[in-house]
Structure 1
Amino acid sequence: MQYLSLASPGKRYSLKEVLFKGLAPDGSLFMPEEIPALDPDFIRNIQDYSLPQLAFEVLKPFVTPDVPEQTLQQIVNDTFSFEIPLKPVEEAIQVLEVYHGPTQAFKDVGARFLSRLLGHFNRGESRKLLVLTATSGDTGGAVAHGFHRVPGIEVVVLYPNGKVSPYQEYQITSPGDNVHAIAVNGSFDDCQRLVKDAFKDDALRQLVYMTSANSINMGRLLPQMVYYFHALAQYRRAGFNDAPVVTVPSGNFGNITAAMLAHKMGLPVKRFVAATNVNDVVPRFLASGAYAPHATIATIANAMDVGDPSNFPRMYALYHNQLSELKAEVTSFAVSDEEIKQTIKAVFEKVGYLMDPHTAAAYVGIKKELRQGENGFFVSTAHPFKFGEVIDEVLPGGLAKAGYEIDFPKLDRTQLKAMAPEYAELRKRIKKMA
């Protein structure tokens, strides 16, 4: 498999080039040159495959022969070593829980897969690789954990100061060693802009061997397809034979783009619902045809606080940049903080299922979109404990009632030295690590 830049599709790149560059040289995103179709028999018999077996079959066309099959099998065994269950919530609606990894967020999947791929390709290199990433919350912890103490790799995680939960901040800042956490006095979009500026800085890249672990990196995005196939396998085992409606909480739109890639490979999906918070660039685009990024608005679903989703160009490209094609398979809703709070409380009181704010937004989306006679599932992307402050506000004692208790040390914020959202400062810090 070769890869191309969305802005300059004439040139092809190898998997290794794509992983290590992160962004294309023209500043655009990489995409596979083609979307391989899976064998219909594989889809027909998908309920017979284990999660690692599914992962191997789905990812093999994208990474071999660059990665030997035996190595790929070991990577998927290591990556998909935890449960990703599909559970019933109410009639016709199920939930796919993708937060059972080490940092209790769906991003563990992408971070673990990417770290192992980069480790494979970086073996034998004489210089260190710098992994630079921005986070609105969960990516940072997953990347910090996934790359912690990986030989030959240094990690820099930028996160918006005061705009992630205490538990998220603990996961980002606690590993130490080769993981460097930098709080930025700004928004996630500021952090993301700084990362993009670094990758566009040719002079810096001559000095520093550097890649990204954000969902702009194909190595993060590709493995996320796997759990949608795994969801279908469980959906079939539960006795459902129709194509499900799939609702995904969406901020940077990497997760739902992975689901769409899976669909293009042959995964049966009736349609997608992208649930956002009030950072509603994509819902407004689907309504008007005008893509109008805006300054990020802080919400209680902070992983979706994105005013200019990086993966939108990939998502749109999958539908040939045609609004009519996109709208035929995708709807999108913005969900307010108040709706999220009400939903967390109402669903727990009704069926005993506790949700974090992002999962609650996805639940609102599927309840709005699911029609008579249809079945579907929504994606739960983070453990409720990661947003304990929100849950305690709407459901005092709710975490304890659900059996969720995690003890962790709070960061001493008086000692925190946050960085201004200025590229010159980030550049100076990166150069010191070269």
Structure 2
Amino acid sequence: MKFYSTNNTDLRVGFKEAVFNSMPQDKGLYMPVEIPRLDDKFLSHLDEYTLPEIAYHVAQNLLGDDIPADDLKGIIHDAINFYAPVVKLEENVYVLELFHGPSLAFKDFGARFMSRVMSYFLEEGEKQLDVLVATSGDTGGAVALGFLGVPNTRVTILYPKGKVSQIQELQLTTNGQNIRALEIDGTFDDCQALVKQAFTDKELNEKFRLTSANSINIARLIPQTFYYFNAYAQLLREGISKVVFAVPSGNFGNIGAGLLAWKMGLPVEQFIAATNANDTVPAFLKTGVYQPKPSVATLSNAMDVGNPSNWVRIADLFKEKPEALKKLIVGYTYNDEETLQSIEAISKTYDYVACPHTAIAWKALKAYQQEHPAKDTAGVFLSTAHPCKFPDVFTKEISDKINIPEQVKELEKKAHHATSLDTSFEGFKEFLLKNA
């Protein structure tokens, strides 16, 4: 499979180059030249396949011969070794739990797949791979655990000071080995800007072999399609064939993967982009004006993104039919007060604890269903992180319902270390060069 840049459709690179370069020099993002449509027989019999089988079929169709079949199967079985159940809460309301991986967040799908792909492509004697990643909360932990101990790689994680939860910070700063953390005195957008600038800096690119583990990397996006197909497979087993997905959205990689799955033939009726106060995309869907703005801090910190990187991919998917985009995606936005009300309502109605991001997706789904009642259509909202990662958000009554996983208890015993930097690129560049 060949990939082009969203800023240069004539560019052609293979999967290996797209993965390692992460972002083309023209500052676009890589997209597949062809998006294959999976055959109807496979799609209508998805319920007969396991998650790894579905993942292999989807990846093989996208990647072609770039990774031989047996090697690709091995990568998937090693990376996607946890489950992603669809749980019924009430008639036509389901939650897709994506927090059963090692870092307790949906980003384990992308980070683990990508780390194994990079390790597979790394050849003996090659220059060390330096992975740069900005995180608003969960990406860093997933990438850290995905790459921990991978030979000939080093990961540098940038996170905004005081804007990630305590458990998220522990997941970033307690790894050691080939993982290092930088605490940036700014926002996620500042962290992301530093990473992007590094990729276009001549001196850094001559000295280091840089790549990104953010969702700008195509190897993060592809495996996120797996759980959409797998969710649909689980619904088919219940006799349901119509679905709408409500997706908590920050950098828009998650919903971007859903739209890629749709392009490959997954029969989704509607995508609901659920955001917090950082409402750049919902505002665009209403007004037609795309106006990025500085991010603001909220309780749902992983969605605190004012200029979503992956929106260019979504726009590119629909470049020939931009009006179809506005029909397929509807946007909803909620503030912190509404987020807390939703957490309370979910707890009381279903005796279920949802993290702040998940609660926003539920509220958006319920609002959409009220406006578009359909008895034969299941609404699935994505639960992107385990609630234990956000202890300060919950009342004691709700907090007491949360089962704390063993790996979280172990984290609290570990020593942690981070280097503090301001938002200047000069300071970040100096750190990289001095700590080569």
Q: Could you say which TM-score interval applies, normalised by the shorter chain?
A: over 0.9
1:295 is paired with a residue whose SS is coil
| Higher alpha-carbon deviation: 370-379 or 203-212 | 370-379
Cα deviations by residue, 1:271-293 (Å, 9 ceiling, x for unpaired): 10000000000011111111111
* TM-superposed deviation, 1:239: 1.8
- Provide the residue aligned with 2:39 in structure 1: 39
CA, structure 1 residues 341+45, in 2 after alignment: closer, same or farther (shift >3 Å)?
A: same
Q: Distance in 1 between matches of 2:418 and 2:111?
A: 26
Contact 2:4 2:13 (8 Å CA) reproduced: yes
* TM-superposed deviation, 1:63: 2.5
- Provide the residue aligned with 1:342 in structure 2: 341
2:420 is paired with a residue whose SS is coil
- Provide the residue aligned with 2:248 in structure 1: 249
* TM-superposed deviation, 1:411: 8.7
Alignment of 1:372-387 (within 5 A): 372-373=373-374, 374-387=377-390
CA, structure 1 residues 68+416, in 2 after alignment: closer, same or farther (shift >3 Å)?
A: closer
Q: Distance in 1 between matches of 2:164 and 2:292?
A: 22
Query: Is the aligned partner of 1:389 residue 2:392?
Result: yes
Contact 2:174 2:415 (8 Å CA) reproduced: no
Query: Is the aligned partner of 1:190 residue 2:190?
Result: yes
- Provide the residue aligned with 1:15 in structure 2: 15
Alignment of 1:295-334 (within 5 A): 295-320=294-319, 322-334=321-333
Contact 2:339 2:360 (8 Å CA) reproduced: yes
* TM-superposed deviation, 1:322: 4.8
2:95 is paired with a residue whose SS is strand
- Provide the residue aligned with 2:286 in structure 1: 287
Query: Is the aligned partner of 1:101 residue 2:104?
Result: no
Alignment of 1:58-207 (within 5 A): 58-207=58-207
Contact 1:286 1:323 (8 Å CA) reproduced: no
> Identity percentage over the alignment?
44
- Provide the residue aligned with 1:271 in structure 2: 270
Matched residue pairs, number? 429
Q: Distance in 1 between matches of 2:347 and 2:16?
A: 45
Q: Distance in 1 between matches of 2:175 and 2:400?
A: 27
Contact 1:316 1:322 (8 Å CA) reproduced: no
1:9 is paired with a residue whose SS is strand
Contact 2:59 2:222 (8 Å CA) reproduced: yes
- Provide the residue aligned with 2:427 in structure 1: 425
- Provide the residue aligned with 2:358 in structure 1: 359
- Provide the residue aligned with 1:27 in structure 2: 27
Contact 2:135 2:158 (8 Å CA) reproduced: yes
Q: TM-score of the superposition, structure 1-length normalised?
A: 0.96
Cα deviations by residue, 1:261-318 (Å, 9 ceiling, x for unpaired): 0000000100100000000000111111111111110000000000000000101111
* TM-superposed deviation, 1:412: 8.4
Contact 1:250 1:276 (8 Å CA) reproduced: yes
Q: Distance in 1 between matches of 2:348 and 2:221?
A: 35
2:421 is paired with a residue whose SS is coil
Query: Is the aligned partner of 1:3 residue 2:3?
Result: yes
Structure 1 stretches lacking a partner, 5+ long: none
* One-letter amino acid of the structure 1 residue matched with residue 63 of structure 2: V
Contact 1:289 1:323 (8 Å CA) reproduced: no
* One-letter amino acid of the structure 1 residue matched with residue 21 of structure 2: K
* One-letter amino acid of the structure 1 residue matched with residue 260 of structure 2: L
Q: Distance in 2 between matches of 1:118 and 1:181?
A: 20
CA, structure 1 residues 412+69, in 2 after alignment: closer, same or farther (shift >3 Å)?
A: closer
1:163 is paired with a residue whose SS is coil
* TM-superposed deviation, 1:202: 2.3
* TM-superposed deviation, 1:410: 7.9
RMSD value, Cα: 1.5
| Higher alpha-carbon deviation: 304-313 or 344-353 | 344-353
2:133 is paired with a residue whose SS is strand
Q: Distance in 2 between matches of 1:305 and 1:397?
A: 27
Cα deviations by residue, 1:373-428 (Å, 9 ceiling, x for unpaired): 2322010000000011101xxx3142332433643428989x85410111111111
Q: Distance in 2 between matches of 1:118 and 1:417?
A: 26
Structure 2 stretches lacking a partner, 5+ long: none
CA, structure 1 residues 205+160, in 2 after alignment: closer, same or farther (shift >3 Å)?
A: same
Query: Is the aligned partner of 1:49 residue 2:49?
Result: yes
Q: Distance in 2 between matches of 1:110 and 1:325?
A: 27
